[in-house]
Amino acid sequence: MFKGFREFVLRGNVVDLAVGVVMGAAFGAVVTAFVKDLLTPLIAAIVGKPDFGGFAFEVNGSKFLYGDFLNAIISFLLIAIAVYYFVVLPVNTLMKRFHKEPPAVTKSCPECKSTIAIDAHRCAFCTSVLA
């Protein structure tokens, strides 16, 4: 019973997933701190009021805290922008730099436009001689 469980837990996918979840949580904390401690004060310096938590209205005794909703939307947008510009864009640029195109293995016949092997001397479809 424990042998099967041990094999399951020590399988590569489970360990990779666990590491990914832990790293994701740690990265989420870093991004949240970046937005809260750097981007929000920067917006406050430009606009003047970074916290909309006090904005509310009341209808028939029910209080609608739309300021908290605005704070959540702004926080989400700032986090999305920070992740895109400081993580996704640099990683995509880095991946493009290291990505190499595989060599071509096919070419197009100039006569019939069929796909043929790169080292073919005659087209298999129209039998034209290739240069």
Give me the residue label for tokens 């043929």. 116
- pLDDT (mean) for 87-116: 88
First to last CA, the chain: 67
Picking from 38-42, 56-60, 80-84, which range would have the lowest pLDDT averaged per residue?
38-42
Of 24-38, 44-58, 61-75, give the lowest mean pLDDT range. Answer: 44-58
pLDDT, one tens digit per residue, over 96-105 is 888 888 888 8
Q: Which CATH class is domain 2-100?
A: mainly alpha
In whole angstroms, give the CA distance from residue 23 to residue 33: 15
What's the chain's average pLDDT? 83
Local structure of residue 22 (DSSP, 8 states) = H
Q: Give the pLDDT of residue 50.
A: 66
More confident position, 102 or 15: 102
Answer yes or no: is pLDDT of 44 > 90. no
